[in-house]
Structure 1
Amino acid sequence: MKRAEILLYYFCTGLTLCILYATQPIGPVFENELVISKTQATLFTTAIMMPLAFAGIFYGYLLEKIQIKIILVLAFLFLGISEIVFSLTHSYFLLLNIRGFQGLLIPAVLTGIMSYISQISSKDSVANAIGVYIGVTIIGGFMGRALSGFFTDIFGWRVFFFIIGCVAILASILLLKFSQNIKASYLKPHLIDIIHTLKTRHNLYIFLMIFGIFFTFQAMLNFIPFELAKISDNYSSSKAGMLYIGYLVGVLVAFNTKKIVAFLGSSIKAIIVGIIILIIAIQIFRIESFWLIFVAMVVFCLGNFIAHSIASGFINKMATSHKGISNGLYVSFYYFGGALGSFVPGFIYIPFGWGAMLSFISVVSFISLIFIMVIRDIKN
């Protein structure tokens, strides 16, 4: 039963990430059908991602006395109902508010699943279980984008969101029937501890570094469909969705971080290499060719996941105290960067074009590179 439960929770993890990123490849469809701007279309990602930036600070107080089973059953029920309502709605304002509502549920889901996996797994297998969890989040993110694009081309976007809503309700029923009653293990941070953690220079610099990296990553993933629609005569949502296949390289990176660090000599060197790869990939995106953009996306994702996967372990290694606070702030900076990156570059892309936006996120990535190099100097 324990194995079946863990598989169910992995399925729910993938489904959650599927919901989170399903709107990304079909931004141009929303733009045309709802008669909205590109920036307004990208806000579907921003609205659902922003709460993740603050979950690490506030959700501990909400989840301390609530059983994981109750959290997840209700969260997936509401996610399912809201997805179905989303599929039937024609008002942009209501659609955006539905995504914002879902954004309030998703941090509770991911927190609950992480707590469940860490508690039900043995000490010897917990690291591997969390590694699988990370891999599933990457696969779920890809599936959400790819299936959204595929269904949109064949049946229209509303059909996909209706189906995924039904699947979420099914997940709620399965969780009600098969999951155990376990309380969430969640850290409640205090303001003094947060300030102390931020005052530690290497902590602050790594937080700012990952903010910039995920800002750049979400900027690219959110705006690339609009550029593809602009340069391609035979653009389709499924074509945009499949472009994200490079995202799957993250699975390979997530399971081989130790080998990457060993090969490159240290965690800091590996992060530096990852950011340099990211910056190089951004320049390849300047070439107006779908296949070269496809290659660029693979390289871009490789650089991002090397930097992120190793930085998340590095922050634990560097923290001498308040490791839980450090992890929570890392996640907050990560998603806050992603939330801003999902729409802020639009203010450059729309008036000045693709090249200007690429230059902007190149500068952001370069600043992230400077932060990690400063950490290297501090450590030395």
Structure 2
Amino acid sequence: MSKFELFVMYLCAILTLCVMYATQPLQPLFEEILNISKFQASLFTTSILTPLAFASIFYGYILEKFAIKKILIFAFLIFGILEIAFAISSSYLALLMIRGLQGLIAPAALTGIMSYISINSPKSSVGKNIGIYIGITILGGFLGRFLSGLFNDIFGNWRVFFIVIGILLLIASFLVTKISGTKGSNLIKPKISDIKNMFLIKENAFICLYIYFIFFSFQGVLNFLPFELVKIDGSYSGSKTGIMYAGWLIGLIISFNISKINKFLNGSKNSMICGVVIFILGTFLLHTHNFYIMFFAMLVVCFGNFLSHTCGSGYINLINLNHKGIANGLYVSFYYLGGSIGSFLPGFIYTNSGWSGFLFFMSFMLFISFIFSILLKKSLN
């Protein structure tokens, strides 16, 4: 796999994540200019994330039936057109519908990119290249949030950033035409039943369930931490809340050095176990009501989450020599399914049992993930 092909895939990944998260910092602005409620504004993000939990398995199957290159060309062409359409629309329903359509494209883009990288990379480089891909998605999510707000402040118009991203998406679609096709990962085209059969392979099931509970817990902590900070301070502080997410930068460090980490810990299986243990330690540190300790705890939580995710995504590609598209689709679906449910279900625990009860519940979910990491290690020994 050439450096140019990797560059194109990583560029596409950054742009996809920019599309997914660019509306988040602008939701208060949309609430004001569109005269909508906070809940309605939040749907701009929900509408694009929800399909990732359900459509990725289907797209994993489609990606093995048809050429990944052609699907990516089409996906980013439509992505770009829809992004420009979003930038020039003024109706809430039109904007929401466009986001929903983009939500149907996002799983094809992300699953296709990960599959292309894993299929075309030498086996010795799969873990490293997928690790960098994870880091790139982290960077893309940050840039989408940061730059959309920055462009609005600089130009006094939220639409400018979306037009720029739309143009870049169209350029990305053109660049994909210049990469080579995927190598044949298998000679037999998959059947629908292969999706079920892929999950019935116990190692795949262990990895998917492992990451489900990891991202369930991570999204739970991220979503309800701001409410606890308000209780601690007595008022909302955007800067204090924002700095809590600085731990995302740790994800970049981990993803770009995952090969060294795996070597130090003697393999991906051990790294996955360490990741969930570190995450659990972070949740215990969050029990304190000292801001600085909680800030450090979030660094620990992010370290554990991103170590788990980077190793999990790389490992499922490493152990599946055939039907990588389906394997990636399963992984992405369980990842986002855990995140989507974790973003609201733990709220009932938080409301009724408080912060400590909430964190104990998160620790219990992570313990389940820990069990699956142990089962995975034993099954592969």
The match for 1:337 is 338
- Give the aligned partner of residue 50 of structure 1: 50
The match for 1:363 is 364
Matches within 5 A, 1:1-380: 7=7, 10-22=10-22, 34-36=36-38, 44-59=44-59, 60-61=61-62, 64=66, 66=70, 68-82=72-86, 85=89, 88=90, 97-114=97-114, 130-147=130-147, 159-160=157-158, 162-175=159-172, 179-180=176-177, 185=182, 189-232=190-233, 235-237=236-238, 239-319=240-320, 322-380=323-381
Distance 1:245 1:286 in 2: 19
Question: Displacement of 1:10 after TM fit?
Answer: 3.4
C-alpha contact (below 8 Å) 2:128/2:258 kept by paired residues: no
Measured against aligned partners, the alpha-carbon deviations of 1:169-227 in whole angstroms (never above 9, x if no partner) come to 22144346655266875997423222222223232222111110011112222333343
The letter for the 1-side match of 2:160 is I
Q: Contact conserved, 1:246 with 1:301, CA < 8 A, in 2? A: yes
Segments of structure 1 that go 5 or more residues without pairing to the other structure are none
1:327–1:180 Cα change, 3 Å:
closer
Contact 1:135 1:250 in 2 (8 A): yes
Structure 2, unmatched stretches of 5+, are none
Deviates more, 1:209-218 or 1:307-316: 307-316
Paired AA for residue 166 in structure 2: I
Q: Distance in 2 between matches of 1:207 and 1:248?
A: 25
* Distance (Å, rounded) in 1 between the aligned partners of 2:144 and 2:241: 12
CA RMSD, aligned part only? Answer: 3.9
Q: How many residues align?
A: 370
Percent identity between the two aligned chains: 44
Q: Secondary structure, in 3 states, of the residue corresponding to 1:343?
A: coil
Q: Give CA deviations for 1:298-339 in whole Å, capped at 9, x if unaligned.
A: 111110111121222333444476554333312221121122
Residue 372 of structure 1 deviates from its aligned partner by 1.5
Maintained 8 Å contact 1:72/1:172: yes
Q: Contact 1:150–1:237 at 8 Å: present in 2 too? A: no
TM-score (structure 1 length as normaliser): 0.79
* C-alpha distance 229-298 of structure 1, shift in aligned 2 (>3 A): same
Question: Is the contact between residue 312 and residue 330 of structure 1 (CA under 8 Å) also seen in structure 2?
Answer: yes
Give the letter for the 2:339 counterpart. G
1:144-165 Cα deviation digits (max 9, x unpaired): 344567678x689x954x2331
Change (3 A) 1:29 1:356: farther
1:149–1:344 distance in 2 versus 1, CA, 3 Å: farther
Cα drift, residue 83 of structure 1? 5.2
Quote the offset at 1:15 in angstroms.
2.8
